[in-house]
Amino acid sequence: MKLLSTKATCNSHGQDSSYFLGWEEYEKNPYDEVHNPKGIIQMGLAENQLSFDLMESWLSKNPDASGFKRDGKSIFRELALFQDYHGIPSFKKALVDFMAEIRGNKVTFDPNHIVLTAGSTSANETLMFCLAEKGEAFLLPTPYYPGFDRDLKWRTGVEIVPIQCNSSNNFQITQQALQQAYQEAQNRNLKVKGVMVTNPSNPLGTTLSRSELNMLVDFIKDKKNMHLISDEIYSGTVFTSPNFLSVMEILKDRNYFKDSSNDADEVCDRVHVVYSLSKDLGLPGFRIGAIYSENTTVVSAATKMSSFGLISSQTQYLLSSMLSDKKFTKNYLVENSKRLKQRHKMLVSGLQKTGIKCLESNAGLYCWVDMRHLLNSNTFEAEMELWKKIVYEVGLNISPGSSCHCTEPGWFRVCFANMSEETLKLAMKRLKEFVVESTGNNNTRNTNTQSKRKSSSLTKWVFRLSSRDHRDRQEER
């Protein structure tokens, strides 16, 4: 008799991905300007730390919110007691209004159709439980966020079939790639329940075009009984044109909301939006996520499931006050966008001085960086070897494209909003020195004994990951 369940002992969580293993190496040797100046700089974490001062300023001017008071009187006892898992109405109203503001108020959201969850991780998994059975599939364009292998598949048993996008058209989704992914699922005897996209994209840092969004809506409309999930948690991080275009605006433009054309209700019921305050406000620790759907059955089921991952009443009260302050939210969105644009420019410029280019992007907390010219060969094994050198010898944790299921070796996601300007400058200095030495010595480097010893500890899982990635790509074909 087994002591533990299959789920507890299985290896399908995805924790052995190089995306997470890089974090582990950083945590063993984190950079600190004073205490560990030669440590690893964390550039694999998409956090927004650029505008904390704006929120701290608001908190200092609004002590009742953080002190759990209303009109100067304590409401601690009220917030300490159990709250209905439907959420505090004032917070739901403030959240949907904030979502509309990010979208230029071109669309509105009904607070009765939003489900609160403990972060977008919970929101995405909850939607999988609502929309698909174990063994059924969702199509996802590559490259995609490595955590989706955990969030969408681990507990639900839902499969992911990649929509293979490539650099020839800047990784845009094409009709051919979409149809090929659908056919691949058919060949594997998988029932496709829908398509999921991140908009703006993680890891590309680009927004989906109107033509791409219309193509996706047409796809689920024509296939019938298929859903479209748009993960829009980076919607407030757009810092330059083109502006963010939500799938909700597409539905509105096509008159696909309720009480319109004959098939509008049916299509509208199959489009769902995921949102979070983790990226736009930089509050991942607050665990604020949400599902928005016009499908009342999905809202009802997801609300019941949300009882397993509620947002604290204290958090809801605090943020309902903050988001209801329209002067603050307007200023925050404008200023945060300016800061992201400036920091993005700083990273791109630093990489260019090193001879490294990026995919042109307009959103997000990262860049999709092209290091193909630094590979010893056009293979994922060479990508992993380069990544290993960058982690241990350069002291930068970045995310290799293979962890994002990119089909082309040599692309990396590099984050820029989770550190100070001084730390980013140091990261660029380290990288430039590495590139100069590597290319100047025919890609060979003289490393000290300590660096070699550290590097060897990665070797076993570099080869394991490379073998697994090769196997996965063979299966995807």
- Quote the strand ranges of 249-351, DSSP E: 271-276, 289-293
Biggest alpha carbon distance in the chain?
Answer: 71
pLDDT on residue 258: 62
Distance of alpha carbon 278 from alpha carbon 234, whole angstroms: 9
DSSP letters for 189-257: T--EEEEEEESS-TTT--PPPHHHHHHHHHHHHHHSS-EEEEE-TTGGG--SSSPP--HHHHHHHTT-S
Q: Which residue has the higher pLDDT, 256 or 356?
A: 356
Task: Give me the mean pLDDT over the 296-321 stretch.
Answer: 94
* CB-count burial class (<10 Å; 0-12, 13-18, 19+) for 274: buried
Name the active-site residue from 229, 233, 288, 311: 233
425-460 tens-digit pLDDT? 999 999 999 999 988 744 433 333 344 444 444 444
Residue 259 in this model has a pLDDT that exceeds 70: no
Look up 110 and say whether it is catalytic.
Answer: no
Q: What does residue 88 show for φ and ψ, rounded to 5 degrees?
A: -70, 125
- Report pLDDT for 46: 95
Q: Which residues pair with 292 in a beta bridge?
A: 114, 273
Characterize 336-369 residue by residue with b for buried, 16 or more Cβ atoms within 10 angstroms of its Cβ, and e for exposed: bbebbeebbeebbebbeebebebbebbbbbbbbb
Contact 58, 342 (CB under 8 A): no
Mean pLDDT (the chain, rounded): 90
With residue 418 as reference, give the H or E element that holds it. Answer: none
Distance CA 179, CA 161 (A): 12
pLDDT digit string, tens, across residues 30-78: 999 999 999 999 999 999 999 999 999 999 999 999 999 998 899 888 8
205-251: per-residue pLDDT in tens? Answer: 999 999 999 999 999 999 888 999 999 999 999 999 999 999 999 99
The residue annotated as part of the active site, out of 193, 279, 389, 454, is: 279
Res 331: pLDDT: 98
Q: What angle do CA 141, 173, 342 make, to 5 degrees?
A: 85
Nearest to 198 by CA among 147, 153, 155, 241: 147
**CA 103, 105, 108, 114 torsion: positive or negative?**
positive
Percent of the chain with pLDDT over 90: 80
Chain position carrying tokens 């739901």: 92
* Active-site option among 41, 93, 102, 231: 231
Concerning whether 279 is annotated as a catalytic residue, the answer is: yes
- Say yes or no to pLDDT of 470 above 50: no
Dihedral angle, C-alpha 78, 82, 84, 90, nearest 10 °: 30
Average pLDDT over residues 198-206: 98
Spatial distance between the Cα atoms of 370 and 38, rounded to a whole number of angstroms: 25
CATH number of 6-53+337-476: 3.90.1150.10
pLDDT at 291 over 50: yes
Instruction: Tell me whether the CATH fold assigned to 6-53+337-476 matches the one assigned to 65-328.
Output: no
Per-residue pLDDT tens for 83-141? 778 899 999 999 999 999 999 999 999 999 999 999 999 999 999 999 999 999 999 99
The pLDDT tens digits for 226-236 are: 999 999 999 99
User: What is the rounded average pLDDT of the residues 355-374?
Assistant: 97
Q: Which fold does the domain 65-328 belong to in CATH?
A: Aspartate Aminotransferase; domain 2 (3.40.640)
Q: Strand pairing partners for 137?
A: 159, 192
Counting beta carbons within 10 angstroms of the beta carbon of residue 68, is it exposed (0 to 12), middle (13 to 18) or buried (19 or more)? middle
| CA pair distance 286, 188, nearest whole angstrom | 40
CB 137 within 8 A of CB 185: yes
Place 263 in a pLDDT band, splitting at 50, 70 and 90.
Answer: low
pLDDT at 181 over 80: yes
Q: Where along the chain do its domains lie?
A: 6-53+337-476, 65-328
Is 145 an annotated catalytic residue? yes
Single-letter amino acid code for the residue at 401: G
Q: Which residues of 85-95 are buried (b: 16+ CB within 10 A; e: fewer)?
A: bebbebbbbbb
Render pLDDT for 2-38 as a digit per residue (tens, 0 to 9).
Answer: 788 888 877 767 677 787 788 889 999 999 999 999 9
